[in-house]
Amino acid sequence: MNSILKSVIFMFITALVFSSVVTAVKIANQDRIEINQKIKLQRTILNVLGLDKNTELTPEQITEIYNKRIKEDKLGDRTLYICYSEDGKAVAGYAFPVDGPGFWGPVYAMAAVDADVTELMGVSFYRHSETPGLGGRISEKWFSDQFKNLTLETGGKDNPYFYLTPEGDNKKDNDLDAVTGASRTSDAVEAFLNRELRIVAGELRNRKEK
Amino acid sequence: MNEVSSTTLFFAAIFTNNILLTNFLGLCPFLSISKQMKSAFGLAVAVAFVMGSTAALNNLVYYHLLLPYHLEHFRYIVFIIIIAGFVQLVEMTIERFFPPLYYVLGIFLPLITVNCAILGVSLFMIIRKYTLVQSVAYGAGSGIGWLLAIITISAIRQKIEGKTKLPKGLEGPAITLIITGILSLAFIVFSGMINVQ
Amino acid sequence: MQKRLTNKEILIAGIWKDNPVLRQVLGICSTLAVTNLLANTLVMCAGLIFTTIMSSMTVSLLRNLIPSRIRMMVQTLIIASYVIIVDIVIQSYLPDISEALGPYVGLIITNCIIMGRCEAFAQNNKIIPSGIDGLAMGIGYTLVLVIIAIVRESLGFGTLLGFRVMPEFFTPWTIMIVAPGAFFVLGVFIWIIRALTPETAELTEIKAG
């Protein structure tokens, strides 16, 4: 009996000591982790709105531009990031998260549209679990750059804004290049992005009319 | 990820997203035990059962205990202790009530605690934000997928070993890994079968 | 009782003679998955080396205090604590890599090498040799995985640490990026090493776990 008690006390003390150490490390780094996540989100938002002008900004610059130009609001369940013009008077565009199922796991993306909701300003697929080098290439610049200036005025429920088709000739205006060797990921992206964009575009237009 | 049905997830975990062949989890016991078909089967059944059950337990604990109190960073410790405790419990129950089953599975149970695939399932379930039902489907599917892989390999190994003359150094782990590679390649073909994951 | 080895002997044993991956085929699960990029492999291995050294030393320090019936529980607790620390540090300083590694950092806990060394070595040895043993096993492990990562990244992406190393006309081998590539490279690597050093091949009675 005594030895069981001793074991229990020993286990308890070890657990206590180690939990305290772990918690201390966690608290010491908590701020840094949160800042990292915040900067990453802000960097993505500036990127899809074209505010970073294709340059690598430092974290300080990101926070400065973000605080100056972006206001956060709600659009249904999602956060809407409203971008204001340089003088702060007119709305320059909207950024919003568009998430959906990829092939292996969820794909998190950020998209931006202009103030009149007529075309896409940019898309960035910033977190996913697709295979690196294959489906994972959706996070590369050449892929997301194709979405710039894509028109959102083609109407109709069954009429997607864009198609992802293999590279080659004979392409229509809204045929974008799919990722070679990753047709499943491309199909998934095409499906959820078209759907989400249609929903958000509708909500944004309603919001403007109010 | 709430849009994926549990059935799809279950089959995806067995075929397209096999935890051993695409995520490399549970390799150590896999290499050592796949020598004999019979023990491979016993271990795999135990693994599949524990995987499904602990996925459910850990899901409940994580969303109802750890997350509300901001203790997420303790999840590694909590998960592994739950797994160890659960395995112990299963071992005692089987020993008490089903002695014949214990005779077959008993020796494998302690090995399960350190099987990375089981902890892996619980960690993937958190990262991919699965619901309780999805977690159970994913856990059970992964267990069955693991079983399928280990049985296939041990069957092939039984055919090869001792009967085929292999070059020096290729016997044992080396040839097993290469066969596993081919099997993994074969499982990629299943990816056309299930659409979303 | 085996005779006490000198520190240098322990180091050599871990890196070459008893190399955990090549000789014992232990603990590959948690890291093999991230070997398609060298950078991820290096971070993962650094985390593993830290965990092996620290948990071996802690177990050794407490070796006369831990009640034997709860030994495994205490060891798991110690290892898990260090892994959480590693995870927090990677999240704080290398956020992108932390995301790429996903659950695999947490899976260091179940890496058989760490637990195996605590049981087989740290349990019966003083702190310094235990630390060196942890270091040696960690380095031995890292060496193998880094070689695999170099093969996979250079053939699969044509790059190393993100820099292009292959000529322009080189077509990347997609198979190296996906899972089968890792199995093939590791299998062939073990084959080559064992074929070149046949006299130690019998030592490899694989331990379960």
**For residue A14, what is the enclosing H or E element?**
helix A2-48
Most confident of A147-161, B183-197, C32-46: C32-46
- pLDDT score at C203: 43
- pLDDT score at B58: 92
* Minimum mean pLDDT range among A168-177, B19-28, B128-137: A168-177
Residue A48 has pLDDT above 50, yes or no: yes
Contacting B residues, span 6-25, partner chain A, CB-CB under 8 Å: 17
- Give the torsion sign (CA, C77, C80, C81, C82): positive
Q: Which residue reads 């059950």 in tokens?
A: B53
Q: Which residue reads 């034997």 in tokens?
A: C68
Pairing, β A120-127 against β A106-114? antiparallel
Q: Are B118 and B51 in contact (CB under 8 A)?
A: yes
- pLDDT score at A169: 63
**For residue A101, what is the enclosing H or E element?**
strand A91-101
Q: Are A130 and A143 in contact (CB under 8 A)?
A: no
Comparing CB atoms, the residue among B77, B167, B172 nearest residue C77 is B77
Average pLDDT value for chain C: 81
How far apart CA A209 and CA A203 sit, in angstroms, is 10
Query: Once rounded to an integer, what is the mean pLDDT over residues B30-36?
Result: 71
Comparing CB atoms, the residue among A105, A184, A187 nearest residue B128 is A105
Distance of CA C51 to the CA centre of its chain: 10
Residue among A2, A25, A62 with most chain C CBs within 10 A, to mutate: A25
Calculate ∠ Cα C116-C121-C123, nearest 5°: 95
How do residues C13-29 score in pLDDT, each as one tens digit? Answer: 777 777 777 776 777 77
Find the residue in C nearest to B168 (Cα). C195
How do residues A5-25 score in pLDDT, each as one tens digit? Answer: 888 888 888 888 988 898 888
Greatest alpha-carbon span in chain A: 83
Contact check, Cβ <8 Å, A40/C95: yes
Q: Which is more confident, B1 or B131? A: B131
Q: Which is more confident, A52 or A83? A: A83
Contacts with C101 (C-beta within 8 Å, 6 or more apart), sequence order = C34, C40, C43, C44, C90
**pTM of this prediction?**
0.82
HSE-CB at B121 with a 13 A cutoff on CA atoms is 40
Query: Once rounded to an integer, what is the mean pLDDT over residues C58-63?
Result: 90
Q: Which residues of A touch C88 (CB under 8 A)?
A: 22, 25-26, 29, 33
User: What pLDDT band is residue B194 in, cutting at 50, 70 and 90?
Assistant: low
How far apart CA A90 and CA A115 sit, in angstroms, is 9
Closest Cα in chain C, distance from residue B50 (Å)? 16
Q: Which residue reads 């898990």 in tokens?
A: C80
How do residues B137-168 score in pLDDT, each as one tens digit? Answer: 989 999 999 889 888 888 888 888 777 777 77
What is the ipTM, given to two decimal places?
Answer: 0.81
A188 part of contact set with chain B, CB < 8 Å: yes
Token output for A41: 């989100």
Find the residue in A nearest to B3 (Cα). A101
Query: Once rounded to an integer, what is the mean pLDDT over residues C103-107?
Result: 83
Residue A70's SS3 state is strand
- pLDDT score at A132: 66
Residue A99 has pLDDT above 50, yes or no: yes
Query: Once rounded to an integer, what is the mean pLDDT over residues C111-116?
Result: 82
Contact check, Cβ <8 Å, A32/C93: yes
Closest Cα in chain A, distance from residue C71 (Å)? 9
How far apart CA C23 and CA C17 sit, in angstroms, is 7
CB pairs under 8 A between B and C: 151
Nearest to A180, CA basis, from A166, A192, A160, A170: A166
- pLDDT score at C82: 93
Residue C99 has pLDDT above 60, yes or no: yes
- pLDDT score at C206: 38
How do residues A29-41 score in pLDDT, each as one tens digit? Answer: 888 888 888 888 8
Torsion, CA B79, CA B80, CA B83, CA B84, rounded to 10:
-150
Residue C198 has pLDDT above 70, yes or no: no
- pLDDT score at B196: 41
Residue B102 has pLDDT above 60, yes or no: yes
